[in-house]
A and B are shown apart, each in its own frame.
Chain A
Amino acid sequence: MTPTPLDADAPLIQLDHVHKQFANGTVALRSMSITIGEHAFVSLVGPSGCGKSTALRLIAGLTEPSAGRIIRHASLGTNNAIGFVFQEPTLMPWTTVAENVYLPLRVQGISRRQAGPRIDAVLDMVGLRSFSKAYPRELSGGMKMRVSIARALITQPKLLLMDEPFAALDEMTRFKLNDDLLALWERHRWTVIFVTHSVYESAYLSTRVVVMAPRPGRVIADLAQEAAYPRRDAFRISAEYGAFCRTISEQLHHARPTHV
């Protein structure tokens, strides 16, 4: 097993021997310990059912661990420090793109007029400024995902959690969104925890890949990727990228469930 790399930057959030067992007895996570450093782009990779979503929900505070601790360091802050992007766009179909993006600020009691410039700014970031008055159903799958990302970014979170955000999209759209997400991240350097089941996606995006195995869900490898940013299409055919994909795949091989 490769040595566990630690992120050079200050720790932002830490899972310390976290167990999660559901009421029906399923052990979704067993003794998961990872430390996420500031400004990192960490991917969680593993077969479905290995507890990736559960780990994200624990980090977001949407569910509590059955045992162990989740340490949120002071640098994370408290007020809307976390943005969440789900696998589905999860937009409110009854209202427009702008109103969907406004939601996190609306909950904070910020008036629509005050929020206006911030809404325009995040929609600009994801390239959807001209669609602010459209309804979600009028958008393509990729555009809806962009809206969902804009909504997560509007509170300027320290930590962005993404749960297989591009899994349902076609490959062309996925590559485009990968590049756009990376470009944004290079500029803003929020911390990202990105769940995916794609080896290639994780290798392309991340500074670090955490490989998980199911039954019970656990971490089996923690791999650093030193390749420099910006990473663009050329990186997809580099030897470095190929080698990293191989390493991740080998680790995932151990994670393969014995009976499928």
Chain B
Amino acid sequence: MSEPDTPALNIAQCRRARIDRALQIVVPIIVLLAALVAWEAIVRIKQIPHYIIPTPSLVAQTLIKDWHTLAPSLWFTLELTFAALAMATLGGVLLAIVLSMSRWAELAFLPFAVILQVTPIVAIAPLIMIYVDSTFGALLICAWIVAFFPILSNTIIGLRSADHNLRDLFQLYRASPSQRMRWLLIPSSLPYFLGGLKIAGGLALIGAVVAEFVAGATGKNTGLASRVLEASFRTEIPRMFAALVLICLCGVLIYLLFNGLSRWLLGRWHESELKGDR
């Protein structure tokens, strides 16, 4: 450690690490921009009519022009997705805790969860629309059903995966069930739960959009899927693209949000989020 050139080496190493981090953000953005430029160029050069494929710039213009109708829909879809996700998290985690405490409860209830999971949401959605009066309520239930299962199953696996020696240690010190739950089982299950949450986030958005397609909901108080449907009836292709872009952005937002959450919670200790020197 005492060689005179060590500090210089370190500075060079740090700089390289910084550049590396910056490139990780810059490279995907450049590639994305290049793809957009290519799209724009091809559509203009081949003179493809905008009612077949609009240019990105036209989509952007439409986005701004129709913002007053798109914004409420964006808000509606986000609200629906996050409400479903919150309910799925609450329900999934609570049920996982109950099921993990009793083999019998798991045997009794898991089949219902599996049946809900394996039945395609498009097939159940019409029924839910019939039974539930409020459109928002029906859509919420659909999105909840698809988001619920990954959280439930991952959290159950997580709660069961606590190190058996650590379990013995808690038993040796006569920890109460609630101490065991708070200090051992919940932290052990956190990586699994967050994995489930990442999947559930994407699925909740898909559930929200698909359910809205099935509902064929129209009118003012509806989400982005309705804007896509509406635009398709009127063959306003740029508007369809604009709504689609917003749905994509919702997905990306959810993805970034939960990846960030996972990194924040696990960054210091869990293999999946460790980075840097080994």
**A-side interface residues toward B, CB under 8 Å?**
57, 60-62, 80, 82, 84, 86, 88, 90, 92-95, 103-104, 106-108, 135-137, 155
B3 within 8 A of A: no
Q: Is A93 in contact with B172, judged by CB distance below 8 angstroms?
A: no
Determine whether the beta carbon of A103 is less than 8 Å from that of B172. no
Q: CB-nearest residue of chain B relative to A93?
A: B269
Give the most central of A90, A94, A155: most B CB within 10 Å: A94
B187 contacts A94, CB within 8 Å?
Answer: yes
B234 within 8 A of A: no
Q: Is the interface of A mostly helix, strand, loop or mixed?
A: loop
Total count of chain B residues near the partner, CB < 8 A: 20
Residues on B facing A (Cβ under 8 Å): 163, 165-166, 168-175, 179, 183-184, 187, 190, 268-270, 274
* Cross-interface CB contact of A88 among B165, B184, B187, B270, cutoff 8 Å: B165
Residues of B within 8 A of A88 (CB): 165
Instruction: Check if A107 sits within 8 Å of B165, measured CB to CB.
Output: no
Q: Which residue of A lies closest to B266 (CB)?
A: A94
Chain A residues whose C-beta falls within 8 Å of the C-beta of B169 in the assembled complex: 84, 86, 90, 103
**Residues in chain B near residue A106, CB distance under 8 A:** 183
In the complex, the chain A residue whose C-beta lies closest to that of B171 is: A62
* CB <8 Å contact, B269 and A103: no
Which residue of B163, B174, B175, B268 contacts A90 across the interface (Cβ within 8 Å)?
A: B163
Query: From A105, which residue of chain B is reached at the shortest CB distance?
Result: B173
Q: How far does the Cβ of B215 sit from chain A's closest Cβ, in whole Å?
A: 43
What A residues does B270 contact at CB under 8 A? 93-94
B269 and A80 contact, CB distance less than 8 A: no
Q: How far is the CA of A61 from the CA of B171 in the complex (A)?
A: 9
Q: Are B165 and A137 in contact (CB under 8 A)?
A: no
